């Protein structure tokens, strides 16, 4: 089927495909993000964790991009925010790991923190799960934006 008779929206215009999809995404987005955070925090005590929760949160942002278009999603989640989220997650992970070493344990040995605070292991595991989730969500969204941007230009390898 040819799309010659169909007009495309001008560059930069809002992408509107279906009001049903857009309304559904608006309604479920808070619940999916909450569930992703639940999976991240619950991973310290049961199946789940940072990777799974991060993918759920990242997939929700991708779903917003599918429903409303990539440009509005990029305005909502700017590249600087993605870099900050991923960097904060990585620095948190490293800080918890190195902190354990400074206290005489091995990297990410949560029991090293127990003399400082009785329940430190539980809270630090949850903090690390959240940090991993932040990294994964930022990578998923960043990859989506990169793929949506498409091929920008050719390199010398492409021409050969």
In the chain, the percentage of residues whose pLDDT exceeds 70 is 82
Report pTM: 0.79
The pLDDT of residue 8 = 54
Whether 57 has a pLDDT exceeding 90, the answer reads yes
Of 121, 129, 120, 57, residue with least CA distance to 93:
129
Average pLDDT taken over every residue of the chain: 84
Sequence-separated (6 or more) residues with CB below 8 Å from residue 46: none
Instruction: For the chain, give the number of residues.
Output: 160
Which sign, positive or negative, has the C-alpha torsion 34, 35, 39, 45? Answer: positive
Tens of pLDDT, residues 114-149 = 988 888 888 898 899 999 999 999 999 999 999 988
Q: Are 138 and 85 in contact (CB under 8 A)?
A: yes
Question: Three-state SS for 107?
Answer: coil
C-alpha–C-alpha distance, residues 21 and 23, integer Å: 5
C-alpha–C-alpha distance, residues 113 and 150, integer Å: 46
C-alpha–C-alpha distance, residues 102 and 125, integer Å: 17
Q: Are 52 and 87 in contact (CB under 8 A)?
A: no
């Amino acid at each position: 089927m040819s799309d010659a008779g169909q007009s495309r929206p001008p560059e930069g215009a809002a992408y509107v495909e279906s009001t049903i999809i857009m309304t559904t995404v608006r309604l479920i987005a808070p619940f999916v993000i909450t569930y992703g955070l639940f999976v991240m925090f619950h991973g310290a005590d049961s199946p789940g964790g940072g990777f799974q929760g991060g993918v759920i949160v990242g997939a929700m942002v991708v779903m917003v991009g599918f429903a409303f278009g990539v440009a509005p999603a990029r305005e909502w989640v700017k590249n600087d925010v993605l870099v900050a989220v991923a960097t904060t997650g990585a620095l948190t992970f490293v800080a918890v790991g190195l902190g354990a070493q400074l206290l005489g344990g091995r990297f990410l040995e949560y029991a090293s923190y127990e003399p400082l605070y009785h329940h430190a292991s539980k809270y630090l595991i949850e903090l690390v799960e959240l940090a991993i989730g932040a990294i994964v969500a930022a990578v998923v969204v960043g990859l989506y934006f990169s793929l949506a941007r498409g091929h920008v230009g050719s390199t010398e390898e492409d021409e050969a």
